[in-house]
Structure 1
Amino acid sequence: MRAVVTHRPTPVGRVTVGVGARHGATPEEVWEAVTRALREASTDGPVGVAALATVNVRAGEPGLLAAARRLGVPLRAYPADALAAVHVPHPSRAAREAVGTPSVAEAAALLASGEGARLLVAKGTAAASRSGPGGPARAGARRRGPAAGRATGARPRSAVTPGGGNPGVPRREAAAHPDGPGRRTIQGGE
């Protein structure tokens, strides 16, 4: 299982956490990977979480859905071919064999963070990234290098302290992804 964190510059330090989970990963395993990545991404205090991101074949995994619910953020899912197009520093043969892309956590975090994103935490089950000054890229935009990616904007709604979690668990509903078929965003609602 891998998770990576990306960041979009904002006053409270919003990050996107990419998660590469095996089929059947438990909610506890996913939560531990996400919180470990967030602790590594934040040495200066609370970190706001904009979204979790993964490969679309894992979007229905109970562990990933539970982590997104617990954080009160969307779970963004991308097709393996979209993730494979993102340049990452730590490609994985295991990920390529399991889901058809050399990176899930790093690529999903970068893709969801959009244009100009940079990795804050990499090479793990969860990876953290932060968006660049341009914010999330528009659908269909193509870039080269580690900032490559397409993502829809998400309203950050959660903050996590380096050692803890978030209160409140909003109800989640699946919705069609605005960027077209093959992508899915899990939306929160009351």
Structure 2
Amino acid sequence: MADLVVGVGLRDGVGAAAVVTAVRSAIAEIDASPTDVVALATLDRKAAELAVVRAAAELGVPVLGFTAAELAAASVPNPSARVAAVVGTPSVAEAAAILGSGGGELVARKRARDGVTVALARTV
């Protein structure tokens, strides 16, 4: 199952280890490999956070950042009013995965673990 983009949302103060653990757990759940991941995608203002940058470096992939408006325009199965109130978009992980994959299929809906939310989409 190659060419996966991992959409990542995270609380402030979360470390890189928690991001990597959440990513590895999500890809294992769909019987994929870390080598199938081609990028991490997130809210633009989170893209430069140390936890995201370090996690991407450990996984050997780039980080893609999207504005809240771009993320809000994506159609997702699990929007959240709470997330919208905090960051200005009803979805970060699912929307970022979809946008980062070029509009690909969401193969794993969002799941949260230790302050990190991830979703997976296959690139088109």
TM-score, length-normalised on structure 2?
A: 0.88
**Greater helix proportion:** 2
How many residues were matched structurally? 119
Secondary structure (helix, strand or coil) at the match of 2:74 reads coil
Alignment partner of 2:10 out of 12, 21, 31: 21
User: RMSD of aligned C-alpha atoms?
Assistant: 1.6
User: Who is 2:31 aligned against?
Assistant: 42
| Contact 1:38 1:47 (8 Å CA) reproduced | no
Structure 1 residues without counterparts, runs of 5 or longer = 1-11, 136-190
Distance 2:66 2:16 in 1: 20
Structure 2 residues without counterparts, runs of 5 or longer = 112-116
User: Who is 1:123 aligned against?
Assistant: 110
Distance 1:16 1:42 in 2: 15
Distance 1:18 1:46 in 2: 14
| Contact 1:23 1:58 (8 Å CA) reproduced | no
TM-score, length-normalised on structure 1?
A: 0.59
Distance 1:84 1:75 in 2: 19
Distance 2:35 2:105 in 1: 16
Q: Which has the higher contact order (CA 8 A, sep 6+)?
A: 2
CA deviations 1:66-86 (Å, max 9, x no partner) are 110001110000000000000
- The structure having more radius of gyration, on CA atoms, is 1
Q: Which amino acid aligns with 1:123?
A: K
User: Who is 2:56 aligned against?
Assistant: 68
Tell me the percent identity.
44
**1:100-115 to 2 correspondences below 5 Å:** 100-115=88-103
